[in-house]
Amino acid sequence: MNQHQQRDAVERALDLIRSFPEAAAGFGTLRLVQPDDLPEPYRELLDHRSHMTVAMERLSGGLVGLEVVAARVEPAAASGKRGLYMREILLTSASGAVVQEGIVRIDLDALDEATAAAILAAKTPLGRILIEANLLRDVHDVGLLEVLPGPHLGRLFGPAAANAHRTFGRVAEISLGGRPAVELLEIAAPGLLPKTLR
């Protein structure tokens, strides 16, 4: 990865964070890292071209829950279009432990009505919805990040952040049927170990 691509990955993540000004003020510091810089289980969780929902389910040994922290819709300029849907979320294990924070920007016009409605209902993680809709999807342009949580992330991660001063995440894009549809930032909770999630 060249220097331009490295800066681009961090800038893409910051662009998503800025979608929620209340989060941006105390979000934290991001730095691009290489796969070899990630300790386990973070490398296995983040260094792939699949959905984080699946990776988190594998780590926690079951389905993960969804909590929407904030959401907003940016209407399309043209009539008849649905526009962009942005949300900040937490994924939780069966025990209620927070395993991931994420910010996503979704082009609702790249989705069929049923899939868009399922996403807007905010009951099921995005990755699970896209998998169950059997959409042709490609996770690409993955950039790995070291994250030093600020007050905002510290509050969301709760006790998990108390004993850890850094964690890791990734920025990526998802194309559906060859059309760019989703931009996302996914940050794994600090201190993740499989035994602590069940």
Which tens digits make up the pLDDT trace of 92-111?
998 888 999 999 999 999 99
What is the identity of the amino acid at 42?
Answer: Y
Q: Provide CB contacts within 8 A for 62, sequence distance 6+.
A: 93, 94, 198
CATH number at residue 125: 3.40.1410.10
Confidence of residue 77 (pLDDT cuts 50, 70, 90): low
Q: What percentage of the chain carries pLDDT values higher than 70?
A: 89
Q: Which two tokens stand for residue 157?
A: 């991660």
Query: How does pLDDT run across 144-160, given as a tens digit for each residue?
Result: 999 999 999 999 998 76
For residue 20, what are the domain limits?
3-196
Q: Per-residue pLDDT for 181 more than 80?
A: yes
Work out how many domains the chain is built from and give that number: 1
> Out of 34-38, 46-50, 191-195, which region has the weakest mean confidence (pLDDT)?
191-195
